[in-house]
Amino acid sequence: MSAPRGPHLFKDIDTPGLTGIDVYRKLGGYAELGALLQRAPEEAIEVVKASGLRGRGGAGFPTGLKWSFVPKSTAKPKYLVCNADESEPGTCKDRELMEKDPHRLIEGMILAAHAFGANTGYIYLRGEFAYIQTILDRAIAEARAAGLLGQRCAGSGFRFELHTHLGAGAYICGEETALLSSLEGYRGQPRLKPPFPAVEGLYRCPTVVNNVETLMNVPEILRRGAPWFRQWGTDKSPGTKIFSVSGPVARPGNYEVPLGLPLSTLLNEHCGGMRDGFRVKAVIPGGSSVPLLPASMLDTPLDFESMTAAGTLLGSGGVIVIDDRVCIVDALRNLIRFYEHESCGKCTPCREGTFWMSEVFARLEAGEGRAQDVDLLADVADNILGKSFCALGDAAAMPVQGALKHFRAEFDHHVRERRCIVNRRRTELEQVPA
Amino acid sequence: MSVPAPMAPAPPLVALEPPLAWPAHLKSAVDEALSHYPVKRSAILPVLWIAQREWGWLSPAALKLAARTVELPEPEVFGIATFYTMFNLKPVGKYHLQVCMTLSCSLMGGERIYRHLAGKLGVGHRETTPDGRFTLSRVECLAACAGAPCLQVNDDYHERVDEAAVDRLLEQLP
Amino acid sequence: MSAAPDTLVRVTIDGRAVQVPPGTLVTDAARRAEVAIPIFCSHAKLPPLGACRICLVEIGLPKRGRDGAPVLGADGAPEIAWMPKPQTACTTPVAEGMVVATASAGATRARQGVMEFLLVNHPLDCPVCDEGGECQLQDLAFAFGHDASRMDEPKRTFVSESLGPIVKKEANRCIVCMRCVRYCDEVMGEDALTAHQRGVHTEISSFDRQPLACEQCGNCVEVCPVGALTALPYRFRARPWDLRQHVTICPWCSNGCSVRLGVRGSEILRARGTERRGVNQEFLCVRGRFGYEFVNHPERLGAPLIRVGGQLQPAGFEEAVTFAAGGLQAIARRHGPQAIAFLGGENLNVEEQYLFQKLARAVLGTNHVDARTRHTAPVTGDAVLRATGGGRPAPTFEQLVRAEEALVLFEDLQAEGPLAQASLIRGQHQHGVHLTVAHARRVKLARAKFGGAWLAVRAGGELALVHALTRAVLDERARHPEPAPLDPAHAAALATLARALPAVAESEAATGVAADQVMEAGRRLLAATRKAIVFGRNTAQHPEAQALLQAIENLGWASGAITAGRSSVMFLGAKHDSQGALDMGLVPDRLPGYVPLADRDHYGAAWGATLPGEPGLTAPEILRAAADGRIRALWIAGDHWLRSAPDRALAERALANAELVIVSEMFLTSTARAAHVVFPAAAFAEKEGVTVNCERRPQRTARAVAPRPGARPDWQIFQAVARALGAAWNHRTAEDVYREIARLVPGYRGTSWATLVPLGSPWAFEPARVVAPAFAASHDGAPPAGEGLWLLAGGMLFLQGSLSHRTEILPQLAHEPRAWLHPAEAARLGAIEGAPVELHGPSGRITLRLGLDDAVPEGGVFVPDAQVGVELNRLGSPSGAGLRVRVQPAGARAAAPSAAERA
């Protein structure tokens, strides 16, 4: 077995048989679950708050704080929902985590649920993760058989039931209120906030929705304490984070690194730099919904604050490397088509704006752009930004604004020359040998 | 105003075909799905999945069965089923080839894989080969970006594929 | 607004300060400040959605210091912290000190952006769009849009489709506001519409694009803010600016919806809801929206007819009046006024009803006056009044929406009161109204979807069930110290009553309803602080109606649905002005305003006549008396008696035996064909007047079109005949008649046509006049065993009364006539679906094709009573607990058909 792939979540990730409860236990899993469940729930919230753990799904909201919003005294049942809809283009970390280490997620969910008093949990998987559902269902059955789930979790007085729920193809269901709509059996469209899910979520009951990676951090944080977690990362972005790196780097893949690591270090050292003959032109650092960074800004540290300062977002950790043979207009055309396809249709700006931008991008890329088109795109993006019902509209608008900010010349070129700036169209690129 | 039109023929009072029912071997799966939620409607996606796995697609009769099972109005179930892209409202082939076309895969040749398959099979998006063996679809991000380009054959992921790998894959399929 | 001023929230919108209750949405606060904020997806009857985004505004709140006090600026005014993003006014509740800007640069830009987006895929086909001219999108584009479009990509397109005979869909025009889908679900309870696909491909349609299986109400069309959904019957028939709009009251049921008729020339081209007026606002049912067609019908009577030599022949109006007056006078002289009876009038306005009974009593001297032609047994004139609280303030639709518990007794509200049904459905959906529905069939409101309780009462067990519910309520009161104790005056009487009623458990056999279900219903009714009891014509027309109405009065008081101060019991009359007919004294034992005959001098003095003091005969008694020749002259006003009388054979004999039959009618019905004088009557849209709905709310009707040439409002006909008989009536308008009503009739005093517009208040008696309750119970236990199936008659949404047959659309929507059986019952009888079956009653038989419906209980046969060509009253009148009929396959002798015959 080679060196560990990461300091924490990826330390043992490739251990053979880890999907089984025995191997997970051998590595220390579930060992202190019973003891942790004996402690007062508020303690867990305090420890997680102190650890500074922030949501790993994209928004980066402090996890302990989110849990603390759940009303203590309520007659209603409470729910914990794991957002395993992993749909943000460029992101494929949760899939590997669940595929290889399902019990850590289960343990994390038991502990999170205990912290704010949920007795039922659901793992909402994107529809394509049917095979992961099989893995998780088997692990849940093992945990149940071992007395870790059910009426008395790990011998404690805590009751927790856990089910998987398979989506069926809708990016929007990664938005937490849309996810809850979908889980309840409605079309997966977002709902009004407030009320926030912590107060009125699933079945109008208090609900916490946490990302897979977030929840998988929980067992070790509670076992080892906040300072242990804070050995990595920055003050405001503690811990490690898994980044999915895609594009023509030498070694694309999922990497667990301490937050605050410069993006260039991730690309050059962990991913082995670019493939031969490719040069980086821009990087989308946090999944397709965030503004891209030009090659000149690759030294930006990978943490929430630095990314915001650089005009983009850490997001979900989906790092998409765009090389210099790729036309930015074409790359954006691809992404905007994605958002048009995934817009749920509920609100006007997102529904109509993504369609409109998609049409304009297609025309621009085809060399049929007009002088006013570039400003029009900027204007349409601005008319979506902050005016749509949920963040999907913003997610479509921000990359356009980022691209216009850093690569306006490429857009203008398309209009002026009535053709794509890149000599070889990306679709004509030779396949890079794996 | 014209003279009242002759009365329209009465709609059939009972369906000519008996409504679809769950085969015996699926009953426990349906009951299990229903048992996971405090309200029946929550089981609509699991129930639609059970139906699609059984029959390959969601016929109107299957949608009505699902509606009955979770006690939802039939039109609403139709709306739910069409909201999600993975439900097939038309029959699909034995193997559903779903090629990711979103940016990460596109950067690594996803479009070429799609074009290769389209040419090889002679079908376009959401079309099925005449022998009913393959349906080809363009799909959006499959969460396999680090393994781009990627395609799914039914539920199975195939990553870092090229034309030759795709050809081999198709040949190996039973 | 009932909130005290200090609980109001102060908001400033575009510089205008308003105070509104906490929780008010910014859109509603803006309306109060007279600031227009455009909306599409929001609707008064639906919860906020926030989807269309056209109502984006900028919102700020006072900055607050660490101590929570507002931070004041240099000018002493609070500093405002503006939210970074524009907010949807339709979803944002007000807060103290909130400042809203709808015209700031940011708000204007946001709204213009949304407007531009709305037009991205909206086609520019306004010239051929039925919505053109009254389209909210068109108006807003005019107000806020750009003059030139920046969007010149190909638009996404859908295929146009018809979703059945009513709804035409042009999805290209749809702006996905979801009003139609949500209204269909939350207000209509139909769920016929859904959104297909998603994103820019979102398309509203039905299941698999099938014709809509629904009530065909067309409210989806009404609430559509654009031309995506239009009404097929109106398609391309007119431009809205060519139509004169007249708001009047719908004549199709007792709910009294306001309907906006669009008229071109002398023709009504459409009917719509009224947006913000009336008890219904935008709501109409299929009858209200498409049933106006009979007004335009070519077979409307145009000239009076008189019988000469056995033939009806056209005559002049004066000639007919002379003929009628002469005939009445002759019979009165020969046989006394007791030989003359006046029937019908539930479809008339109160002015007409008032004059009709005045003609009978003051001019001719008979108390044989009864509008309740459908009744099967005598019922006193104040029985419904007493059952609904003795004249105490009546429940409104808004109370139905907000009730905690609603008990619906023996009515299918889908047919009998679509707005009442929609109010309960919306209340259930949005406010958690719990429904308890007592009905032999599983009617719509009893569906599982609405989460209520269905008391599947056996036919004939209605009286026993109301008694059992009363007993359950009283038992519950006895068990639990009363939070709201009974008036001591009634406590003893109700205790006595409780002892007289059988125990709930002993009623099971009679009611067919499990005792615990009855107990639960009683407990809920008693526990609710806001409650409603709704009953209607199936009670009033029941052979045991008198006892049933008494039982409902008992239940109302026992449960607290009626208190000293107000009533929560609603009566749905059979016709739009059944309530008015009771109020105006179209009953043989009460004068207008429920004045007892003993106090007849009140009217005698005013009318300058000596009024008869003996109660007259009720309608079912008149039927028998006329058939026996004791009544020799009949005036039937606006009533197709051969259909409405409970026994057709008797009615035919009565008409044949009568020496004089006068009919005022719109059509030459078979009843009119049997008359000696027929006066063509004006239709609802052709005359002014007042009609009283089930809230007891008098409402003004309007004249939208001139009467069909030759036709007159009934009041003019009554007055002409009265004058010919020597009365000095000289009303020049219906309003003039109403002035007399407002002067004389208790409950109506002090009102005027002016006070009834746009929406009058339900009438109530002054406290001194309200009727004190009386408690009594008569019960015979379970209905006697007998042969045959119980006949379950009742209304149907699409066909209600004979006028629905005179429309183009309604009969198309209805099933062809059938007798409906439970499949198990049909199997027992060896009857095959679609094959003819015979129904044998005491007086005759009818043959109908068989329909199967598992909502019909075993042991019963359901025959809607307004089906085209079905003369249900041929079977004979229900008596005792109801009517039993023998059902058998047509042509079969005694035995079931053999297998070969069936094949």
Strands A207-211 and A79-84: parallel
Q: Do C296 and B73 touch (CB under 8 A)?
A: no
pLDDT (0 to 100) of residue C786: 76
Cα distance between residue A422 and residue A419, in whole Å? 9
Per DSSP, C491 falls in state H
Strands (DSSP E) contained in C443-525 are 453-455
Q: Is the pLDDT of residue B29 over 80?
A: yes
Please say whether the beta carbons of A190 and A184 come within 8 A: no
Rg of chain B (C-alpha set): 21
Q: Mark which residues 1-30 of B lie under 8 Å from A by CB.
A: none
Which of C185, C448, C833 minimises the CB distance to B13?
C833
Query: Per-residue pLDDT tens for C529-564?
Result: 999 999 999 999 999 999 999 999 999 999 999 999
The per-residue pLDDT for range C671-705, each reduced to its tens digit, is: 999 999 999 999 999 999 999 999 999 999 999 99
Distance from CA of C188 to the nearest CA of B (A): 13
CA distances to A114, A269, A343 from A317, in Å: 28, 17, 22
At C486 the pLDDT is 78
Matching residue, tokens 């208790």: C746
Task: Kindly list the partner chains of chain C, i.e. chains with 3 or more CB atom pairs below 8 Å.
Answer: A, B
Cross-chain residue pair B146–A335, CB shorter than 8 Å: no
* Angle formed at CA C168 by CA C165 and CA C170, multiple of 5 degrees: 160
Tell me the nearest-neighbour CA distance from A338 into chain B, angstroms: 7
Q: Is B174 helix (H, G, I), strand (E, B) or coil?
A: coil
Q: pLDDT grade, residue B16 (50/70/90)? A: very low
The mean pLDDT value for C99-107 works out to 97
Residue C895 has pLDDT above 50, yes or no: no
Query: Any idea how long chain A is?
Result: 434
Nearest to A273, CA basis, from A302, A246, A298, A249: A249
CA distance C30 to chain A (A): 20
| Residue C59 DSSP label | E
**With contact defined as beta carbons under 8 Å apart, do A407 and A294 qualify?**
yes
Q: Is the model's pLDDT at C848 over the cut of 80?
A: yes
Each residue of C413-472: pLDDT tens digit?
999 999 999 999 999 999 999 999 999 999 999 999 999 999 999 988 999 999 999 999
pLDDT at B12 exceeding the cut of 60: no
CA-based radius of gyration for chain A: 22
- Give the max Cα distance, chain C: 100
DSSP one-letter string for A252-312:
-EEEEEETT-BHHHIIIIIS-SBPTT--EEEEE-SSTTS--EEGGGTT-BSSHHHHHHTTS
Q: Is the pLDDT of residue B18 over 80?
A: no
Categorize the per-residue pLDDT at C488 as very low, low, confident or very high, splitting at 50, 70 and 90. Answer: confident
Residue of B nearest to C203 (CA): B79
Question: Cα(C274)–Cα(C284) distance, rounded to whole angstroms?
Answer: 9
d(CA C635, CA C677): 9
C763, two tokens? 């009438």
Give, for C679, the enclosing helix (H) or strand (E). strand C677-680
Asked if residue B1 has pLDDT above 70, the reply is no
What chain B residue is nearest to A275 in terms of C-alpha separation? B108
One-letter amino acid for residue A23 of the chain:
V
Taking the CA of residue C202 and the nearest CA in chain B, the distance in Å comes to 9
Q: What was the ipTM of the complex prediction?
A: 0.95
Tell me which residue in C91, C114, C198 faces A344 most closely, judged by beta carbons. C198
**How many angstroms from the chain centroid is the CA of residue A417?**
38
Nearest to C86 among A352, A356, A387 (CB): A387
Please tell me the distance from the alpha carbon of residue B160 to that of residue C739, in angstroms, as a whole number: 90
Dihedral pair phi/psi, residue A91, rounded to 5°: -115, 125
**Which amino acid, residue C520?**
E
Q: Is B44 left (phi over 0), alpha (psi -120 to 50) or beta?
A: alpha
Q: What is the largest CA-CA distance in chain B?
A: 71
The residue of chain C with its CA nearest to that of B61 is C208
SS3 per-residue string spanning A339-390: HHHHCCCCCHHHHHHHHHHHHHHHHHHCCCCCCCHHHHHHHHHHHHCCCCCC
What is the arithmetic mean of pLDDT over A82-94?
97
Which amino acid is it at A376?
A: L
Chain pair B-C, CB pairs under 8 angstroms: 68
On whether the CB atoms of residues C513 and C465 are closer than 8 A, the answer is: yes
**How many residues are present in chain C?**
903
Quick check: C715 and C731 in contact, CB under 8 A? yes
- pLDDT at res. B17: 59
What secondary structure does DSSP assign to A105-132, as a single string?
HHHHHHHHHHHHT-SEEEEEE-GGGHHH
Other C-beta atoms closer than 10 Å to the C-beta of C438 total 26
> Any chain A CB within 8 A of the CB of C50?
yes
Q: With a CB-CB cutoff of 8 Å, which residues 229-288 of chain A face chain B?
A: 244-248, 252-254, 284, 288
Nearest to A347 among C48, C51, C198 (CB): C51
Q: How far is C41 from chain B (nearest CA, A)?
A: 19
**CA Rg value for chain C:** 29
Please give the structure tokens belonging to residue A366: 């085809």
User: 10 Å Cβ neighbour count for B23?
Assistant: 9
Q: At what angle do helices B44-55 and B60-70 cross, to 10 degrees?
A: 150
Residue A167 in this model has a pLDDT that exceeds 90: yes
Tell me the C-alpha distance between C218 and C535, whole Å: 26
Nearest CA in chain C to A339: C199
B37-51, C59-73, C425-439, C672-686, range with the lowest pLDDT: C59-73
Does residue C897 register a pLDDT over 50? no
**Interface with chain C: mutation pick from A344, A351, A370, highest number of C CBs within 10 Å:** A351
Judging by beta carbons within 10 Å of its beta carbon (0-12, 13-18, 19+), is residue A224 exposed, middle or buried?
middle
Which residue is listed with tokens 């106090």?
Answer: C599
* DSSP 8-state class, residue A54: B
What is the spatial distance between Cα A406 and Cα A411, in angstroms, rounded to a whole number?
10
User: Is pTM, for the whole model, over 0.90?
Assistant: yes
pLDDT digits (tens, 9 = 90+) for A223-238: 999 999 999 999 999 9
Helix (H, G, I), strand (E, B) or coil at A164: strand
Please write the tens of the pLDDT for every residue from C705-714. 999 999 999 9
Of all residues in chain C, what percent carry a pLDDT higher than 90? 83
Q: At what angle do helices C545-559 and C462-479 cross, to 10 degrees?
A: 20
